[in-house]
Structure 1
């Protein structure tokens, strides 16, 4: 099998030995996070996938599921800087990206950088803030830079935003437009812990001073070198065709499942195709493999597609969810 023909153009192929050596930090990182966090293994892996692909994550889950603790713990393990921004209706763009402050002693303006200048940023309840604030954050996510006054400032590298939404309480919220949702690499649903996990949470956290300290297990600069290897992971032509078939199925479901035709108003964009391939490569890296298998694609497809498929009014009336649609499409699309 010729890996040079199936990696990204201009990206050298990698060997299994390179991937095994470069991914040696993954298991120690998972173990260190597990010292504080109970369960949520999938959430941790999805955050690592976003870091390895230079992407961002949108989380949907009720309050109290350790979303903030997860990001804070990951940042501490990476020796990176963490910032949490609580989005509220009175928040201004300057509260996120920064602004110019007048210095009366010197008679000039100086920049004050906002909390977005961090490696990991938690945008808590992003749909609580008005459209201007959402746009300011999402522009920074896309451009990786912020302009304050006449000066442009580059954001730290790596830089990842994890935004949260409460799926229950929608009063006084500003729904993210589909075009902005599409900028998130993944939309992950955070569920309640199992009874066993919740008992463990009780044992660890039912105290006025729970142990939340972790040790840095890697330098955050290692993420950049790992990204370079992720780009060179082998993606077979058959797997590429499988990815394209899944995305095409969201746009033309009648070709494989006629009953879904009236349930989908709009399918995934080409950004979904690109992100599914990138995420599959990153997942292979986390498993210390130098090649992508169909399972990488299939397991990540729900998180890649759930915010990129628009349901019709008929689907909403029938109580059909995007998860139902994706599951049926994945069952119908032939796996190589």
Structure 2
């Protein structure tokens, strides 16, 4: 591609809104009930629109579940919640086949994973066996029970939470599980005005009462519109240089994979679209590298999560030169 300009595509509707308008309306609606950092909310909307899963690392009581319920409401989606405990079984998530005495046949009873937005609370309190039950559905959007595949509704988003401080009774997520998450984010504390409103006891609206902003058909058209976003060669090469730097870094045991690079490029297209642009710029890559890549890096210390990987990635972003606007190639 030799050009980096283009009009932002529309996504359908009456009148047809741009993607930026749709994102603004969703963020405004969700912001009335979920008092979180606007930048984090924007990233979560981007992940949902692009079909990626989100891992939220926050203290209890930060509004993670409320946010997921609000996200389902503004998109007309269904939402279900899974509370992870050490005794949770894989079938408690995916579903189970039960023999029906009346029909004399086995029937599949879907688990809570059969929803558009699945809230997996405290995922690292579930056993590794139960955690593995999410691997297939997060990657292939289906569940296999007794040899039969059962597709889950689309769009499909897993919003998993874990407490970064309380480690007692938890099972660290393996690299394969972490790689299924498009982003790892923290909602952060609410602003002073929002916190003051909460202290006064002002009750926010119920998430399920929020107006529908983007239905399933519009969401599908939004994903189609992403294909029209221009991704110049200079930006592709910037992603490659960053990825190669992670693989050669002396303090990293494992850098990012090709899957991680593809995820970053795919997310950057949607991020640009949400910003009202028809092309990706290097600054989009820099803004998303932390949320998309940091949890996939494995430092020499062996810790697959935590602030160490974020700090290392910040160092890499500072070291690799950002391409200028005239470095395009055809």
Gaps (5+ residues) in structure 1?
7-12, 254-260
Aligned-partner SS, 1:306: helix
1:29 to 26, 31, 36: 26
Matched, 1:276 2:264: yes
1:25-59 Cα offsets, whole Å, 9 max, x none, are 22221221122222321222122211222211111
Q: Please report the TM-score for the alignment, with normalisation by the length of structure 2.
A: 0.89
Matched, 1:132 2:129: yes
1:211-265 Cα offsets, whole Å, 9 max, x none, are 3231112212211111111122101111111111111111123xxxxxxx2x222
Is the 2:2–2:232 contact (alpha carbons within 8 Å) kept by the matching residues of 1? no
Is the 2:264–2:288 contact (alpha carbons within 8 Å) kept by the matching residues of 1? yes
Is the 1:77–1:215 contact (alpha carbons within 8 Å) kept by the matching residues of 2? yes
Aligned-partner SS, 1:321: helix
Structure 2 distance, partners of 1:60, 1:320, is 11
2:58 to 42, 49, 61: 61
Matched, 1:160 2:154: no
More helix by share: 1
Q: Please report the TM-score for the alignment, with normalisation by the length of structure 1.
A: 0.87
1:16 to 8, 11, 32: 8
2:76 to 71, 74, 79: 79
Is the 2:142–2:149 contact (alpha carbons within 8 Å) kept by the matching residues of 1? yes
| Corresponding position of 1:223 | 219
Structure 1 distance, partners of 2:213, 2:143, is 30
Structure 2 distance, partners of 1:131, 1:98, is 18
Gaps (5+ residues) in structure 2?
324-330
Structure 1 distance, partners of 2:9, 2:219, is 18
Structure 1 distance, partners of 2:81, 2:236, is 37
| Corresponding position of 2:205 | 211
Structure 2 distance, partners of 1:14, 1:109, is 54
1:185 to 164, 182, 191: 182
Is the 1:52–1:230 contact (alpha carbons within 8 Å) kept by the matching residues of 2? no
Aligned-partner SS, 2:106: strand
Is the 2:9–2:228 contact (alpha carbons within 8 Å) kept by the matching residues of 1? no
Structure 2 distance, partners of 1:21, 1:103, is 49
| Corresponding position of 2:314 | 327
Structure 2 distance, partners of 1:264, 1:50, is 26
CA RMSD of aligned residues (A): 2.2
Aligned-partner SS, 1:307: helix
| Corresponding position of 2:286 | 298
Matched, 1:102 2:94: no
Structure 2 distance, partners of 1:154, 1:320, is 36
